[in-house]
Amino acid sequence: MAKKSSVTDVLAEVVVKGMQEKKAKNIIKIDLTKINEAAADFFIICHGDSDRQVKAIADSIEDETLKAMQEKPHSREGQAENRWVLLDYLDVVVHVFQKDVRDFYEIEDIWHDGVMTNYEDLA
């Protein structure tokens, strides 16, 4: 079990790196490992300023996870409009929003019992 957890932790950090590469904003990693009802170990959330940036962030995440860990998402949803792209790596679920959509759904508030790590926005 520790090996899976270690790999999952690394995957989560690679996802964050992919977000930072495209200047994603307000990156938050939510550790859900202590929540029995959670479907994943981590949710990682960020937003971009436009549909193009949301697409670029999602593509960067996929590029980084493939390059660093030979991992592809199990599924990818929302790429048609790029307002909310979800990348499902099973143990790590990634949400890339446009800000208004993120504000509407408030995923962070739903999973407030998780341990949250905030990442500084890169200039």
* Separation between Cα atoms, residue 107 and residue 111, nearest integer Å: 6
Domains in the chain: how many in total?
A: 1
What is the rounded distance in angstroms from the CA atom of residue 102 to the CA atom of residue 47? 7
Least-confidence region, from 4-8, 35-39, 79-83:
4-8
CATH number at residue 101: 3.30.460.10
Does this model's pTM top 0.85? My answer is yes
pLDDT in tens, 17-53: 999 999 999 999 999 999 988 999 999 999 999 999 9
Which range marks the domain in which residue 35 is found? 2-119
Is the pLDDT score of 81 beyond 50? yes
Contact of 66 with 72, CB cutoff 8 Å: yes
Q: Are strands 115-119 and 25-31 parallel, antiparallel or unpaired?
A: antiparallel
Say yes or no to pLDDT of 93 above 80: yes
CA 118 to chain centroid, in Å, comes to 12
The pLDDT > 70 percentage for the chain reads 95
Whole-number pLDDT of residue 1: 39
